[in-house]
Structure 1
Amino acid sequence: MVGIRIRELRSDRGMTLTGLARSTGLSAGLISQVERGLTDPSLETLRRIARVLDVPLFSLFRDAEPDSDAVVVRRDRRMQVSSPHGGISYQRLSPGSGKLELLEGTLEPGAASSAKPWSHPSEECVTVLSGQLLVEIGSARHDLETGDSCYFDSRSPHRYVNPTERRTVFLVAITPPSF
């Protein structure tokens, strides 16, 4: 379904496949395969596409519109995005239709949330549920232990790193959603 959503967003913006490819730095063939559901895009590919389409990453996945004032997201119905290399995965705990996005992240030993720090127009607060997390924001490095949290402006290039030999699990709240 992510491919269909990307095609819809691209078309809504009057953007050609070639134009999206040029703007993202990805090949037109790869984007075509994603749109047709022939390949599963990597987290980095989705980030590039979402940035160019000017939407939060998780909005590339279809969301049911809430039909009441409360939305329950069941554990077995969470939207998940993983790195093809297996180092990082995110599950969306919020419904994806509000002004706040809540994600549960899992970083494998030695893994990072991205190859290099990146930015997006939001604010974030990350809390470590288990393990240790290194939060890199610009040139600053913040070492977090279980129970620690870090709040920052996501417009500063940032990433999360697991510097240990055991899995790290964390929650991250993002507002407005732009991940």
Structure 2
Amino acid sequence: MSLPIRLKLLRKQRSWSLDALALRSGLTKSYLSKVERGLSVPSIAVAIKLANALEVNVEQLLSEPVPGADIVVTRACERTALGEGGAGAVQSVAAGAASKRMLPFVVYPPRELVASAFKEHAGEELLFVHQGRIEVVFPSQTVELAAGDSLYFNALIPHQTRTISSEQAQVLVVVSHELE
């Protein structure tokens, strides 16, 4: 994950605007925007200011994180049964739940990546491939998943999904949703 993505991720995890980070760091909003878009590379002195403002150490801001720390893949063959029961024993997906903290839905990813920017949003996301094969593209890696595989990640990491199998993929997506 690059510095611009890590900076934006850390800022958004704190629910800070660029103005808020500018105020805390003593840097301008326009400069911070350029850093987040990869148009400007901060000096070590500026990186220290940013790390102090974000209350992280400089290494967290500048160095590559441990691979897979924010993205967890679980293959179908790696799943562990949590109980016994026949097919269809549990079918409800949050039916009738009020004040949901998770938003479950089924997605049929397109075959081509959309030309628009990557998607990103607050919360965490779980994808479970029910049918077909998909490719999930992150700025720093691409993950292929087959039926029965799942992927869990911080949804602030920009991402795109597409079907890569001949059959249309069907994916259960669950997004965390904090109540205000």
Q: TM-score, normalised by structure 1?
A: 0.42
> Which protein has the larger Cα radius of gyration, Structure 1 or Structure 2?
2
TM superposition score normalised by structure 2: 0.42
The structure showing larger relative contact order (alpha-carbon pairs under 8 Å, at least 6 residues apart) is: 2
